[in-house]
Amino acid sequence: MITIHTVTIIEKIRADYRRTLTELFLSEAPGAAGIPTKYEYNVETDNAGNIIYLKRPTNLNKGFDFEVRVSNMRFKHINKNGRISYSNRPSHDNIIDDLAEKKAEDSSQFTLLLTVIDAIFNCVEIDPQIYCKFSFRSGYPVDMICKCIKWLFIEQDITYWNWSGRNMLYNGIKNV
């Protein structure tokens, strides 16, 4: 059984996002032998009505880790053996590939999009109307990608608590 919560978390600095989210996770009920408690936290909705949510626990990690997921979306994944699968979990590669498509389509619009991503990196809450200014035809919707980036940054801040956190994905984006 999965417990689903809708939450609004808006902070102004990385440490506060980390603190607020871990306090939320601390309120989860413990599991029983062989039966983990499962949670989904609906954190954003894009303009198309897709829900960006956090799934806990994850398959590979333990503790405070979570996966960013998007309802009604499919992202392509290629494993080490070249096997292709699809899931509603965007990866860093999915984000970077999507941004590369957008850059190839319109480099001036992409430059503006990077200013939005810079603001997200710096924990600035984005006015939803900003996303309407973009007219990319390639890839995923801009608002959905940006909202995923926000939560992937936060996920990295928690996973790599004492390290660079969000800088790993951000540097990949800057290298597009």
Lowest mean pLDDT among 10-19, 23-32, 57-66, 106-115: 57-66
pLDDT of 83 over the 80 cut: yes
Q: How do the domains of the chain map onto residue ranges?
A: 2-174
Nearest CA among 45, 98, 109, 95 for reference residue 72:
45
Residues in the chain: 176
The strand pairing partners of 71, in sequence order, are none
pLDDT at 63: 67
- pLDDT of res. 48: 96
**Mean local confidence (pLDDT), 80-93:** 96
Q: How confident is the model at residue 98, as a pLDDT?
A: 98
Average pLDDT over residues 12-30: 94
Rg (CA), the chain: 16
Cβ neighbours of residue 33 closer than 8 Å, sequence gap 6 or more: none
Task: Give the dihedral sign, CA 133/139/141/145.
Answer: negative
Say what the pTM is. 0.94
- Summarised one tens digit per residue, pLDDT across range 92-140 is 999 999 999 999 999 999 999 999 999 999 999 999 999 999 999 999 9
Look at residue 62 in the predicted model and tell me its pLDDT.
64
> 62-101 as b/e, with b when 16 or more CB fall inside 10 Å?
eebbbbbbbeebebeeeeeeeeeeeebbbbeebbebbbbb
pLDDT digits (tens, 9 = 90+) for 26-44: 999 988 888 889 999 999 9
* DSSP annotation of 164: -
- For residue 169, what pLDDT is reported? 95
pLDDT tens per residue across span 147-176: 999 999 999 999 888 888 899 999 999 999
Residue 3's pLDDT is what? Answer: 95
